[in-house]
Every structure is written in C-alpha cells, then in structure tokens.
Amino acid sequence: MIPTLQGVAHEHHERLMGHIDELPVLGDRIGSSPVAELAPVLDETVTFLTGLLIPHMEAAERALYPELERMLQNRHSMTPMRREHAEIRNLVDDLLRLQKDVDAGRLSTGEAVAFRRVIFRLYALLKVHLAEEQLYVGIIEHGLSAEAAVVLGAAMEHRGISEA
C-alpha cells in the first residue's frame, strides 16, 4: 500500500506522542529519584528528542510548511509554528546542558527545578504543537490530489521514523 500524507502523519504522531507522554513521568521523578536512576531515562529522552523529534520538525519545515503557505496564500502563515520549533530546539538545548550534570552524578536543587521547568514546558508545548500540526495535515490533505498526497507523505519520511 502506498503511504499517504494522512497515513504517514498519523504514524508519526502516534510514535511521537508515545514518547512525549512519558515526559511528565520523568519530570515527576526529578528531585525524588536518585540521579543515577534518572540518567538512563534522560538518555532515552534525549535520544528521542534529537533522533526522532528534531528530524520530524525538519521534515515538516521542509515539506509541510511551504505547502501550507502556498495553500493559505501567505508566506508568513506558518511563522507561529516555526517559532514553536525554535522554542522546542531551545528547550532541547537546555535539556542537553542539564544532562551533563546528571551524567556527572550531580543535580543541585536549583538544577532540579530548572530541569523540571524544561521538561514540563517541553511537554506542554509539544502536546499543543502536535495537535495543531494534525489539523494542518487535514487541511493539506483536503486540498491535494491523491498523487500529491503520496509525494508529500514520502517527503515527511525522515531519519528515526523509518528506523524505529
């Protein structure tokens, strides 16, 4: 079966949400679990963010956003989504900085608070952002031919998704 944009987007969404829904679990453990127990969970989270989520964002920016801007006849209609991508990248960078302290076996009270802040902000932003992205996929799919939906679906394939 040839994958359509809707099918690819649904598969990606499900895979991403499975990881995103684990973020609050990690956030709740910060400050109550030993640092040594947090390290492997944080490593998995960072692997997800850098190996799956960021490539997904890059694919959306490359394939979906230009098509939406064309359809909505406004070059800047995707600016809010791009801003959210920038904020997500900043939060991931913050998490990577905090990961160094966790990997070193230390996490001060202040760092734990900062860590929780990053995790819960990332969780909230991603939940809203991906829900909005799903709406945009429906708009695109409604306005595309079947052939164009297949091409756009193929353009959304990226590193991490096909490897999982």
Residue identified by tokens 């987007």 is: 9
CATH code of domain 5-155: 1.20.120
Residue pLDDT, tens place only, 124-155: 999 999 998 888 877 777 776 667 666 666 66
Quick one: average pLDDT of 70-89?
87
> Tell me, what's the pLDDT at 110?
92
Domain boundaries, the chain: 5-155
The residue among 140 and 65 whose pLDDT is bigger is 65
Q: Which amino acid is at 140?
A: I
Instruction: Read off the tokens for 4.
Output: 């359509």
Among residues 47, 40, 45, the alpha carbon closest in space to that of 103 is found at 40
DSSP state of 73: T
CB contact at 8 A, 53 and 152: no
Q: Indicate the average pLDDT of the chain.
A: 85
Does residue 83 carry a pLDDT above 70?
Answer: yes
DSSP string, 92-113: HHHHHHHHHHHHTT---HHHHH
Rounded Cα distance, 12 and 53, in Å: 10
Q: How many Cβ atoms are within 10 Å of 96's Cβ, its own excluded?
A: 14
Q: What does each C-alpha distance from 70 to 7, 74, 96, 131 come to in angstroms? A: 22, 7, 35, 21
> Taking the CA atoms of the chain, what radius of gyration do you get in angstroms?
17
The residue among 17 and 158 whose pLDDT is bigger is 17
Residue 134 region by backbone torsions, left for phi larger than 0, else alpha for psi between -120 and 50, else beta: alpha
> Tell me, what's the pLDDT at 164?
45
Rounded Cα distance, 40 and 60, in Å: 29
